[in-house]
Amino acid sequence: MKNKYSFFTLLKNAFSYHENWEKAWKDPEPKKEYEVVIIGGGGHGLATAYYLAKKHNLKNIAVVEKGWIGGGNTGRNTTIIRSNYLWDASAGLYDHALKIWENLSQELNYNVMFSQRGVMNLAHNLQDVRDLKRRTHANRLNGIDAVYLNTEEVKKFCPIINTSPDIRYPVLGGTLQRRAGTARHDAVAWGYARGADQMGVDIIQNCEVKGIKRNGNDVEGIETTKGFIKTKKIGVVAAGHSSVIANMAGLRLPLESKPLQALVSEPVKPIIDTVVMSNAVHAYVSQSDKGELVIGAGTDDYISYSQKGSHEIVEGTLSAILELYPIFSRMRMLRQWGGIVDICPDASPIISKTTIKGLYFNCGWGTGGFKATPGSGDLFAHTIANDEPHKLNAAFNINRFVSGDLVDEHGAAAVAH
Amino acid sequence: MFVINCPYCGVREQSEFKAGGEAHIVRPKQPTELSDDQWAEYLFMRKNIKGVQFERWIHTHGCRKWFNMVRDTSNDEIKAVYKMGEKPPIE
């Protein structure tokens, strides 16, 4: 890798007041034709381009992004990474991603600030206890680390949680995945963009796709705001806007796009050194390195692309946070925002070929796509390069909605991802 | 966050309502005779439109009646509200 970041480059650039760092990626105009075009310059799209170039030796790849890279859901999520999913297919998919995360900063020569601080999922009723115990056993059978904690152990691991039996939804126990944690979301997009760029991928920003040109059952290229780009393979990684792209190609997907909200507080000194999620009361919280509490709320139930959400969703989440963490009662919230998430009926993603030759979709990640970024890119690159899915994403095909072979994580993972 | 003019109760806060997804999807007359593809199309596949969409809503914490709505999903602006069985007031 040329322009490798190291202690010496840091030292060298310090002497010139950090004003002479080279650009991490170029800003090229689109060429007339590419072997593969990826629509969507978020983490998943950039990772796909990176692995297409790195593992499948494709030379002529473009990523087109309507805004700026990492400006969509990649920069809007709560950065939680875990792999403790119930079903075998999901466990395989998300643990594949987690294993890549563990070495990603070294691989990309870019600090993605991956922090294995553990993720704890709380149980608030008898059914939660049963479900979480079942999930712990399923995780272990799949080689994923998981332990079940009783109330005292939960309190010991995260002392600020209110474990009093008197609260409306008392903490009856929880699970802990120690390998889980968080990463810096922007750095993931930037690291993959830099890596892809160095292998010759064209990252074209401010380039919105307006149409998909088909010749019979083959794709011929895309119409964009920067003109027509010819290509035989299109990988769509457009998250909340996947259906918009699909409609351009005359395809329907089993997706609904809804606003998902998150918020951060004013920064405070370190108080919570892990990630705590609670499905039953729908609140989860961690603390960023800057000191802000990062709080995830829920989705609204109506379809919307407005990147806004209902006030009552935030209110519900914060009331749950306050009951679980009375210490936060005087915290002020700094920012609140919404992202548009594309949700499948079974709440599992689609990484798949379609009925149109050369058109591939990576979508349906719903409320929990960030954690899968490296694995998703790797498997989608494999699917595009070979025109066949990898065994780890074979179950996540579009055809499962016809065959009925759903990967039903909805009941298992409930609302929180 | 918006207010909805329920055709039965009048203007109320959106938090009183539940969204029921895309409207005017006709239930197949003979479900047993559908192929798997047709069944998937009916059950799962959606237009998920960015722009003007026809959809179903229910006034859960009010009259508990279903009705239809025309709404721009790109900015949440409600164009029209009409009762079940009525023709959409706009094309």
The residue-averaged pLDDT of A213-234 equals: 97
The residue-averaged pLDDT of B3-18 equals: 96
Tokens of A387: 């025109």
CA–CA min distance A30, chain B (Å) = 27
Taking an 8 Å cut-off on Cβ atoms, the answer to whether B46 and A257 are in contact is no
Contact B63, B12 (CB under 8 A): no
pLDDT band at A2 (very low <50, low <70, confident <90, very high): low
**Res A17 pLDDT > 80:** yes
Contact A169, A316 (CB under 8 A): no
**Res A5 pLDDT > 60:** yes
CA–CA min distance B44, chain A (Å) = 5
The alpha carbon of residue A43 and the mean position of all alpha carbons in its chain are separated, in whole angstroms, by 7
Domains delineated in chain B: 3-27+34-83 (3.30.2270.10)
A281 vs A17, more confident? A17
**Res A9 pLDDT > 70:** yes
pTM over 0.80: yes
Which residue out of B42, B47, B48 would a mutagenesis test of the A interface target, given it has the greatest number of A Cβ atoms within 10 Å? B48
What region, left, alpha or beta, does residue A173 occupy, with left being phi > 0 and alpha being psi -120 to 50 degrees?
left
Question: How would you class A259 by CB atoms within 10 Å of its CB: exposed for 0-12, middle for 13-18, buried for 19 or more?
Answer: buried
| Percent of chain A topping pLDDT 90 | 94
Closest chain A residue by Cα to residue B2: A310
Name the maximum alpha-carbon separation found in chain A.
66
Which residue out of B44, B55, B71 would a mutagenesis test of the A interface target, given it has the greatest number of A Cβ atoms within 10 Å? B44
pLDDT band at A411 (very low <50, low <70, confident <90, very high): low
pLDDT band at A283 (very low <50, low <70, confident <90, very high): confident
**Which of the residue ranges A98-112, A304-318, B66-80 would you say has the lowest mean pLDDT?**
A304-318
Taking an 8 Å cut-off on Cβ atoms, the answer to whether B15 and A310 are in contact is yes
ipTM value for the complex: 0.95
Which residue out of A243, A244, A304 would a mutagenesis test of the B interface target, given it has the greatest number of B Cβ atoms within 10 Å? A304
pLDDT band at A97 (very low <50, low <70, confident <90, very high): very high
**Res A412 pLDDT > 60:** no
CA–CA min distance A305, chain B (Å) = 5
Q: What is the DSSP annotation of A39-60?
A: E--SHHHHHHHHHHHHHS----
Q: Per-residue pLDDT tens for B25-73?
A: 999 999 999 999 999 999 999 999 999 999 999 999 999 999 999 999 9
CA separation, residue A106 to residues A4, A6, A340, A371 (Å): 11, 11, 31, 18
Contact A231, A212 (CB under 8 A): no
- A308 contacts in chain B (CB < 8 Å): 1, 76
pLDDT band at A417 (very low <50, low <70, confident <90, very high): very low
